[in-house]
Amino acid sequence: MRRATLFVLALAVAAASAVAAAGGHAHVHDRESGPSGGASALVASGAQTDDAAPPERWNRTYGDAGEDTFADVVRTEDGGFVLAGWTERGGDRDGWVVKVDASGDRQWTRTIGESGTDRLYGVVRTDSGFLLAGRSDRDGGARGWMLSLAPDGTTRADRTLGTGAFTAIASGGSDGERYAFAGWTRTDAGVGGWLVAVDARGNEEWERAYSAPDGYSSARLKAVAPAPDGGYFLGGDASRDDSDAWALRVGPDGEPAWNRTRGGPGQEAIWAATRGQNSGVVLAGETERGGALDGWVLAYAADGSLAWSQRYGGPERDWLDSAMAVDGGYLFTGGTLTGRVGSADGFVVKTADDGSVRWNRSYGSSAWDKPWPAVETRDGGYLLAGRTEGFGASGKDGWLLRLDSDGQSAGTDTASDETDGQSTTDAGGNDAGDGDGGESTSTATPSAAGRLADYTGVLGVAAAGVVAVLIWRRRYRK
């Protein structure tokens, strides 16, 4: 599949250059747009779109010239949100934390880092502020990054440890006062999974490294979700000639309870995890079959048996990299090249408890748009965070997309304040690797909604989108 995709490189570069040349350059902050460039209906494999997707309430961009990305979001007590990610200027990437109110108005911003690459991938709320997980190269190589901030964004603690990166974080423990940082580390046995548990003050309780499963050369964790007994569910990928999905269940002390891999001849990966039915877990990611990439969800029971699996997408490249349990089902977000509004768009799927689709929709502008995580708002709507090159962005900007309620959520003040450990990064998942990782105006008109089969596109734009996603995913998803 990778070789086949690269075959269209020459055509794609020419098309991408033509698309990029159409943009302008407006260097402003906190840009807000009206209705999005468009929203298109998608059809998930083996399911129908029954209920109406929620309309967009607002979307806003944050940043300036360069690369600015929101990789995770958590709701705050005042109904606002804290966003975590990174910002790039002059080749130097720093951790980036932004606090906004319920309407998306910025309240404070923090840029944290030193020379080299510093990225934040996950954030959770604590009783005294926020804990953030990431990767820092400040000591000459990739190291796990733990950051503690006060409610006003003041730094309380900032430290690195080990060799590797923390690509996801979740609260947990029997009393809810433990926090788990998940990612990858390098040991004498090679690259494997990594889990570090800390208390509410950031004091380390225990650390575990998990070797690649038998038959695999390396493995990385990219998602974590709390289990009912104070342990954790973990997800990621295990690699040999290709990669397969990797799922683990560990106890309160990190001791493995079960370990599963699943995949075929193509590329599979898990990017997100959330609580499932009957003390199980639901994992979201991607699967490649017959040259097509689809969003993929696996539901495991508490004992590690597979309860169900489902693919979501169409004839082109579609993937999922966030998962959230909601009333009566799940909300997944990712990216899509199928049924595009622009070159790539946000892909949102709402399902029932068994994975059957309630609604699914793509959201975006005429340019490249990609949300990673989502949280439920107090009124039962959803806030999606990510990155966009459209809606007046000056380069690549942080993006917030606010959706109204779909009428299927309770919409109370007790709506989930966390993202349940979903994994996020540039390109639809965590940057679990060692590599580094033009503006388009918001003048596109809404597209008519339609099924996947109704979208044919232009060959050059399609090729450009495929290659852009491939290069992007290679840079940030190793």
Residue 406 confidence (pLDDT): 82
Task: Report the alpha-carbon distance of residue 452 to residue 431 in Å, rounded.
Answer: 30
Q: What is the pLDDT of residues 186-206, one digit of tens each?
A: 988 899 999 999 998 788 999
pLDDT grade for 315, boundaries at 50, 70 and 90 = confident
Residues 156-167, mean pLDDT to the nearest whole number: 96
**Statement: residue 303 has pLDDT above 60:** yes
pTM higher than the cut 0.85: no
**Statement: residue 310 has pLDDT above 90:** yes
**Statement: residue 29 has pLDDT above 60:** no
Report the SS3 class of residue 189: coil
Regarding predicted confidence, which is higher, 231 or 412?
A: 231
Task: Report the alpha-carbon distance of residue 31 to residue 394 in Å, rounded.
Answer: 10
Q: What is the pLDDT of residues 63-78, one digit of tens each?
A: 987 889 999 999 999 9
In this structure, which amino acid lies at residue 277? Answer: Q
Q: What angle do CA 33, 34, 37 make, to 5 degrees?
A: 85
Q: How far is CA 460 from CA 10, 14, 208, 216, 265, in A?
A: 10, 8, 47, 37, 28
Residue 51 confidence (pLDDT): 55
Task: Report the alpha-carbon distance of residue 331 to residue 382 in Å, rounded.
Answer: 9
